Amino acid sequence: MSTNRLQRTHRSTKIPNVKLRPVPVERSVSERAAADAEDDAHFQRIRNHGVTAGAHAPADFAASRPLRGTVLSFTGILDDKRELIDIAEALGAAVHRNLTSDVTHLIARQPGSEKYRCAVQCGMHVVRPEWLHAVREAWLAGDDVVDTARLADEHRLGALEGLCLAMSGIDDATRMRLTARIVEHGGSVAPRLTLDGSLTHLVCGPDDGRVRKSYTRVVEHQALARHYTPDALPPAVRAAAAIRLVHAAWVDDCCDAHVLLSEDAYDARAPLAPRPVRTARVFPALERTASAPTPVAPSTPAAPAPAPAKDVARLVARVHSDTHAPTPPPAAAAPSKGLLGLSRAARFAHDAPRLFRATSFHVAMHDDARTRRVAGVVRAHGGTLVDAAHATYLIRPLCAPPEPIPTHGTRVTHHWIELCLFYDRLVDPTAHLACVPATAPMPVRGAKGVRVSFTGVDRQGPEYHHAVAAIEAAGAHVEDAFSRAHTTHLVCVGDERTNLKAQKAREWGVPVVGPGARSQRWT
């Protein structure tokens, strides 16, 4: 018989110092259920006695996140937007791409965008991105209740955040006072006028005979810019054209209101409005800031999920449907402070300030229904309807049939009416190609293969939508995304030298044009 262990019939090898034990008998289902029931009874007794520390009660697992019930939106943030969204969602907040009536906080690094203006109008919190980091740090530090409202006040976006201002014609005492206020609210002050593109505003003193060299220089360069196409502007002229000339009162009123007020009402080339008029601008902004929406407190019961975004068109439709119900007329209808009050339809519907007072119009939209609609808007805002021979403005369709150019009066489109209502002032019709009817037959021959993309333009503003309407009326197509394969022209609004899409377009051989090039081809 062989003694070789490898030749044994069972072919097994014994491992030294190892004992083979049988598989443990599996407990029956009834035994497991009894053990679970015992554990449940144990924890139930602990909860009934009010002892939850270390007992893994539901409250230990469902600790409230500090931004639960908060709805955020972003504007002007590109580089770290994805990271900020992840932080916000981890803290329990919901993030909306569009600015809806559900939004409680707007995250921004610089004021001035259309989202910013709408958020200010609706009384929303406008904070810097550092607010999210501060809330997260406080939460991770173990704070039972994170005071998000206090942190929002500490990280509130300054009224002049990111702006660079210079001064002209202002005495030393006023200059020191304004400098302190500008720095306090997030801005910076340049010691002198430099036309390198860094300045955003020139604060001008009163026209009382004092020398204002910087003001005169900027005005001269801005007048010179009218003789160039946007693509051919010299660097110094381009920088001067982008500077806003404002009265010194604009700085004080912005700081008092804690928001960036529109520069149009403080244009240094026009007389400054009286103090009562300016006070009427500041106090509503203060009231909206004080009554900003507050998110659900972390200590409250679980908040319901945010409602779906309320589209402005749906809100308008709902308002129109509600008007059929018999309701008593209000004593005094207050202007809406919500997003509905900023929509195009709402501006046409409610009693707005009489913007077109003492201005005559002739409306001929070549469609009876549209003519009646536009005429009603003009009358609602104080305009007077007269015949074409005596009208100051002749309102025509964008693609109006060819007609002789009138010897008097200015031909405009209904898009011009919308821009005037949006900015609450009479805008220059030549500032946008959709404000003036086309003089050439539409669509333009050969425009069918043109595919245009935009960069540097606020797609929430009316100018973008009017530009899209004009380009499509000419027969071209507007691409949502800029791509080498589909885009034939790139319209760049702003400085082409610093725009990444413009640089990539030159690399690909795609023509880059400014807004002025469109108006030249329009006529």
Rounded CA gap, 140 and 125, in Å? 23
Gap between the Cα atoms of 350 and 323, Å rounded = 13
Do 261 and 183 sit in the same domain of this protein? yes
Q: Note whether 188 and 245 are same-domain residues.
A: yes
Answer yes or no: do 126 and 197 share one domain: no
Q: How far apart are CA 358 and CA 379, in angstroms?
A: 11
Q: Could you tell me if residue 227 is inside a domain?
A: yes
Q: Answer with the one of 256, 271, 290 that is the final residue of a domain.
A: 290
- Is residue 490 a part of any domain in this protein? yes
Considering 274, 290, 306, which residue would you say is the last residue of a domain?
Answer: 290
**395 occurs within a structural domain:** yes
The total number of structural domains in the chain stands at: 4
Q: Cα–Cα distance between 361 and 375 in angstroms, integer? A: 9
User: Which 3-state string (H, E, C) describes 142-202?
Assistant: CCCCCCHHHHHHHCECCCCCCCEEEEECCCHHHHHHHHHHHHHCCCEECCCCCCCCCCCEE
Q: Does residue 320 sit within a domain?
A: no
Nearest Cα to 293, choosing from 98, 155, 125?
125
Residue 508 belongs to what H/E stretch?
Answer: helix 500-508
Query: Is residue 154 within 8 Å of residue 227, measured between CB atoms?
Result: no
Residue 108 contacts residue 77 (beta carbons within 8 Å): yes
Domain containing 464 equals 451-522
Examine residue 370 and state whether it is found in any structural domain, yes or no.
Answer: yes
Phi, psi values for residue 307, rounded to 5°? -70, 155
| Claim to verify: residue 106 and residue 194 sit in the same structural domain | no
Q: Tell whether 176 and 149 lie within a shared domain.
A: no
Same domain, 175 and 270: yes
Query: For the purposes of burial, counting CB atoms within 10 Å of the CB of 430, is it exposed (0-12), middle (13-18) or buried (19 or more)?
Result: exposed
CA atoms in the 13 A half-sphere facing the CB of 3: 0
Same domain, 111 and 195: no
Residue 313's pLDDT is: 39
Of 95, 127, 154, which residue constitutes the final position of a domain? 154
pLDDT of residue 224: 87
CA distance 81 to 86: 9
Q: Is residue 14 part of a domain?
A: no
123 within some domain: yes
* Residue ranges in the chain whose pLDDT is less than 70: 1-12, 25-63, 281-353, 402-407, 515-523
Query: Alpha-carbon torsion 118, 121, 122, 124, what sign?
Result: positive
Nearest CA-CA partner of 162 in 200, 110, 107:
110
* pLDDT reported for residue 368: 85
Q: Are residues 115 and 138 in the same domain?
A: yes
Tokens of residue 119, six digits: 């958020």
Is the pTM higher than 0.75? The answer reads: no
Residues 423 and 471 in one domain: no
Q: Are residues 229 and 281 located together in one domain of the fold?
A: yes
User: Taking the CA atoms of the chain, what radius of gyration do you get in angstroms?
Assistant: 32
pLDDT of residue 353: 52
- Among 311, 289, 282, 251, CA closest to 98: 311
Q: Is 346 a member of any domain?
A: no
- In degrees and rounded to multiples of 5, residue 393 shows phi and psi of -125, 135
CATH number for the domain that contains residue 488: 3.40.50.10190
Do both 142 and 189 map to the same domain? no
Q: What is the pLDDT, as a whole number, of residue 186? A: 92
Residues 171 and 259 occupy one common structural domain: yes
What would the DSSP string read from start to end of 235-304?
HHHHHHHTPEEEEHHHHHHHHHHTS---GGGGBTTSPPPPHHHHHHHHHHHHHHHHT---PPPTTSSPPP
At which residue do the structure tokens 């030294």 appear? Answer: 16
Q: What are residue 385's DSSP bridge partners?
A: 361
CA distance 470 to 415: 10
